[in-house]
Amino acid sequence: MLRVMRWWDLDVVLDLEHVVFGGQASWSVEQLWSELAGVPDSRHYLVAEMGADVVGYAGLSVVGDTGDVMTVAVAPSRRRHGVGRALLDGLLSHAAQRRVREVLLEVRADNAPAIALYSCVGFEPISRRRDYYGAGVPAIVMRRRGQWVAS
């Protein structure tokens, strides 16, 4: 089940952030608070729950008619169960409601499962960012435009 992320989710989300992304690559509690401060004006954050457990979360920034997927994280034990796809679908639905014309994201170039998921929902690679995730770790910039765009 998806629902809008609230401030009381931040402890669990921060723990999941560290599990999924590791210490150096993960966001701080201050960054997460800052993201939630933009809701609902320019930010939209969701959590995925299975039972009483938060098993994933995702965020979207909207500026004008462009959306930017800020993060997608799924607990390792819940990957390949449709959680990431559900979170992306939720973000894209919100983007369409906001009349967004394109959605962008960055993904580690070596993260084949994430690239496959993004490709599956219509994202296409448009460029690379050298050392985006640290020395020697590039990102692929992907974009989605198309039939979901509100006219």
**Token code pair at residue 46:** 């969701």
Q: Please say if 106 is a catalytic residue.
A: yes
For residue 22, the model assigns a pLDDT of: 81
Tell me, yes or no, whether 36 lies in a domain: yes
Indicate which residue of 45, 106, 124, 132 is catalytic: 106
Indicate which residue of 118, 124, 132, 133 is catalytic: 118
Instruction: Write down the pTM of the prediction.
Output: 0.90
Handedness of CA 106, 112, 114, 115 (dihedral sign): positive
Tell me, yes or no, whether 126 lies in a domain: no
Q: Please say if 118 is a catalytic residue.
A: yes
pLDDT digits (tens, 9 = 90+) for 80-127: 899 999 999 999 999 999 989 999 999 999 999 999 999 999 999 999
Tell me, yes or no, whether 148 lies in a domain: no
Number of domains in the chain: 1
CATH number at residue 15: 3.40.630.30
Domain of 57 in residue numbering reads as 2-102
